[in-house]
Amino acid sequence: MDGTSGDGFVTLADGTLRWGRFGAAGVLLRHHDARGEVAVFVARRSMYTHQGGTWAIPGGALHRGEQPLDAALREFAEEIGVAVGEHTVVQVHEDDHGGWSYWTHLLDIADRFVCPDVLGWETAEARWVRASELADLPLFDAFRATMVQLGLL
């Protein structure tokens, strides 16, 4: 592994393991349709990942010197196979664990894309869901906690 890659686990002061040597980040895409309905884009984690089978946002490790939003957009493209186009940053949440952070970026997008049939190995399934249905999905623990903190659950 070279010195710029963020891939790898780190052990935090409390003894927990986290993925991303320099932290990690992801994006929650939100779309408002003409009728005022709100949809969010979520991904079901493959069984090859921690808490596989749960729903969360595409995301992953920051590389050395990479800005969290840049990392989140890169990870989205790697995992979903779609580059996020024009967007507005609505909110950024940093979940700081004392020297290691996960950044969640809530982005509004004007154009809702069709999810590709082929996804990266980390993602078993991905789709748009009504924001009101998010709470009904089996969510990744940390994602659920962040959605509560953001007032989205």
Model confidence pLDDT, tens digit, residues 98-146: 889 999 999 999 999 999 988 888 899 999 999 889 999 999 998 999 9
* The CATH number of domain 31-149 is 3.40.50.720: no
The percentage of the chain sitting over the pLDDT mark of 90, rounded to a whole number, equals 71
pLDDT at 2: 66
| Backbone torsions φ then ψ of 8, nearest 5 degrees | 140, 160
How high is the mean pLDDT of the chain?
Answer: 92
Q: Which residues, including other chains, have CB under 8 Å from residue 68's CB and lie 6 or more apart?
A: 23, 25, 62, 92, 94, 101, 103, 105
**pLDDT of residue 93 exceeding 60:** yes
Instruction: Work out whether the CA dihedral 45, 50, 51, 52 comes out positive or negative.
Output: positive
Given this model, what pLDDT does residue 1 score? Answer: 54
Q: Say if CB 140 and CB 123 are below 8 A apart.
A: no
pTM: 0.91
